[in-house]
Every structure is written in C-alpha cells, then in structure tokens.
Amino acid sequence: METTKSKKKILIVGRPKSGKLSLVKALTSSLPPGLTDESTPHSGLIHSITLTTRYFSTEAGIWVDEIPEDSDLWLDEYLSEEAMPVLQSLAAIMLTVAPGQPSAEKDIKILRKLNARGDEVEWDATTLVIGRKSPNSDAYSSLLSLCDEHTLEFINLNDSGENEFGGRK
C-alpha cells in the first residue's frame, strides 16, 4: 500500500521534563532529528510517524513544542489570527504532564483554550493528555480528576493493552 504524506500534524506540547521526547520515542521508536545534546531546545523539533491501517497508510508530521514559564505569551502565539492555519493543520494536540508538576492545572487549562480556539476556526482535532502513572498516587489521582473535570482523555503511557489496529507499534 502506498504511503501518502498527510498535511495534518500532531502537536506535542508540555513543560520541560514532562515527557515530550519520551512520547515521540514511544510513537516513532526514534528521537527527532536535530536533537544533538541535552541542551537542545525542544521547541520546534519536528518528526514524523507513519500510520497504517488496512485502508490507508499515511505519514503525518509531529511538531514538538515546550510550554515556557511565561505560558501566557506562548499561548497568545497559538491563539493569534496569524497562527490560525497552524491550528487548522493539526489532527491532534497531545499535552504531556508529569503527575505532581505544579503547572499541571494551568497546562490543562491551556489545552482547553487551544481546544476552544480550535472550535472557533472549524477545527476538528483530538486533544489528549499524556502522562505516566506516578508513585505519588495523590498527585496522579489529582491529575486524573483534573482531566475528568475538563473532559479531557488521559492516557497513561505505562499502561499496556492492545488496540484494533494491531496493538503496539
């Protein structure tokens, strides 16, 4: 089956040390090119993933972006009119959150705002929160409750299971 290149992208966002690159590696089995050492900024890293079913095979781009301390300014960039084509080109936004990170609630609200902005620009993408189960069960359950409260799906990357497309990639 021929693999086509999709114009749609996946945007992976999160704070430093929240698991963005782990997620990219879990999805693609490799790290983004251009990542030379630990000091390389994660903002603007680009990668791709090939998704194949019995009906189609497509290569989708992955954008990685880091939410900085001044997250308001960062969010304003995405909510601006100029960035509208970027939002419209997204098939999914994944927010990586480490349980216990003080910014978790703010980050989830950021994701909701991106989602709300997407609705305004006739955007039909999926938003997910991705994390790993933490030994601190209070922090973890609090994160789950936050996602629940904001009607966002949380996926625990440590969990295992199989899906209808053939399980683990």
Among 51, 71, 112, 150, binds other proteins (CB under 8 A): 51
* Closest to other proteins by CB, 5 or 17: 5
Among 35, 75, 92, 152, binds other proteins (CB under 8 A): 92
* Closest to other proteins by CB, 92 or 112: 92
DSSP string spanning the chain?
-PPEEEEEEEEEEE-TTSSHHHHHHHHHSSPPTT--STTS--TTEEEEEEEE-SS-EEEEEEEEEE--S-HHHHHHHHHSGGGHHHHHTEEEEEEE--TT-TTHHHHHHHHHHHHHHHHHTT---EEEEEE---S-HHHHHHHHHHHHHTT-EEEETT-----TTTS--
Contact range with other proteins by CB under 8 A, out of 12-20, 100-108, 109-117, 125-133? 125-133
Question: In angstroms, what is the minimal distance from the CB of 16 to other proteins?
Answer: 13
Contacting residues toward other proteins, per CB under 8 A: 5-10, 26-27, 41, 43-46, 49, 51, 53, 56, 58, 60-61, 63, 65, 68, 70, 73, 76-77, 80-86, 88-89, 91-92, 94, 124-126, 128, 130, 133, 137-138, 140-141, 144, 147-148, 153-165, 167-169
